[in-house]
């Protein structure tokens, strides 16, 4: 009788242990299933370049998608911001600085001295040309007056024509590669209507483009 009692006790213990382990395995499997990616084999990660190739309509449907309008000079950034005011974008629009390599330069040839360069700047202000700067660097371009640096010849030609129309007779053009600090307006999760408006407005800012893609991590 004693042996039968011990046998039954051990059998019950074994049965309990089996049930406990089975329950724990089932719980672990349920947890794994819960966090298993849904249709994982169909999920595809996209680079920023791939996102940009999707086109405005599809990009507008993506989470954390942004449109960027740029590059813009400081004067063009102010102009573009005013053009977008009717859209009441609020905090969905920010501005970030960007370094751009440009090789199309509109300028006034170097002056003989800083005094002469300052006098030229004063003459430009009288003609309502305020977005200009004196070049201060060692070499042949010291005391030149920079009137704009552009990534394409079309932008430089438009700027030169604008200056000539204002009466800046000494403005000229040449190719000269430079790294310039410019701006881009960033619009977070734009609608198709906003993207269409951006495409329409960019023609009013020479040399600017509208691109779509993943939102930049940092804005300034």
Q: Which of the residue ranges 73-87, 111-125, 168-182, 202-216 would you say has the lowest mean pLDDT?
A: 202-216
The pLDDT confidence band at residue 52, using thresholds 50, 70 and 90, is low
Alpha carbon of 180 to those of 72, 101, 112, 138, 204: distances in Å? 11, 6, 25, 18, 21
Q: What pLDDT is stored for residue 150 in this prediction?
A: 84
Checking if the pLDDT of 183 tops 90, the result is yes
Q: What's the DSSP call for residue 182? A: E
Q: Summarize the confidence of residues 70-79 as an average pLDDT.
A: 89
Give the tokens for residue 152.
């394409």
Convert the pLDDT of each residue in 80-109 to its tens digit: 999 999 999 999 999 999 998 889 999 999
Q: Which of the residue ranges 32-36, 72-76, 187-191, 212-216 would you say has the lowest mean pLDDT?
A: 32-36
Q: In the chain, pLDDT over 70 holds for what percent of residues?
A: 69
Which comes out higher in pLDDT, residue 116 or 49? Answer: 116
Q: Which of the residue ranges 17-26, 78-87, 117-126 would you say has the lowest mean pLDDT?
A: 17-26
Q: What residue spans define the domains of the chain?
A: 54-214
The phi, psi pair for 145, rounded to 5°, reads -110, 115
Give CA–CA dist 72/76, Å, rounded: 5
Q: What pLDDT is stored for residue 187 in this prediction?
A: 95
Give CA–CA dist 206/193, Å, rounded: 22
Sorted by sequence, the CB contacts under 8 Å of residue 184 that are 6+ apart come out as 68, 69, 70, 71, 72, 95, 96, 98
Alpha carbon of 50 to those of 198, 204, 209: distances in Å? 21, 28, 18
């Amino acid at each position: 009788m004693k042996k039968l009692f011990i046998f039954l006790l051990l059998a019950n213990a074994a049965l309990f242990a089996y049930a406990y382990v089975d329950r724990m395995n089932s719980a672990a499997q349920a947890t794994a299933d819960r966090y298993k990616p849904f249709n994982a084999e169909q999920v595809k990660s996209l680079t920023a370049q791939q996102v940009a190739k999707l086109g405005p309509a599809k990009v507008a449907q993506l989470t954390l998608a942004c449109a960027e309008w740029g590059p813009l000079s400081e004067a063009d950034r102010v102009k573009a911001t005013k053009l977008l005011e009717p859209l009441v974008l609020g905090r969905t629009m920010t501005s970030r600085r960007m370094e751009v390599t440009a090789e199309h330069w509109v300028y006034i040839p170097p002056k003989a001295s800083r005094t002469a360069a300052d006098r030229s700047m004063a003459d430009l202000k009288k003609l309502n040309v305020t977005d200009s700067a004196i070049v201060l660097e060692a070499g042949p371009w010291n005391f030149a007056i920079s009137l704009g640096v552009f990534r394409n010849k079309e932008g430089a030609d438009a700027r030169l024509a604008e200056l000539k129309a204002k009466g800046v007779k000494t403005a000229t053009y040449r190719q000269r590669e430079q790294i310039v600090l410019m701006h881009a307006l960033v619009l977070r999760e734009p609608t198709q209507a906003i993207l269409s408006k951006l495409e329409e407005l960019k023609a009013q800012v020479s040399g600017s483009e509208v691109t779509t893609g993943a939102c930049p991590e940092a804005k300034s």
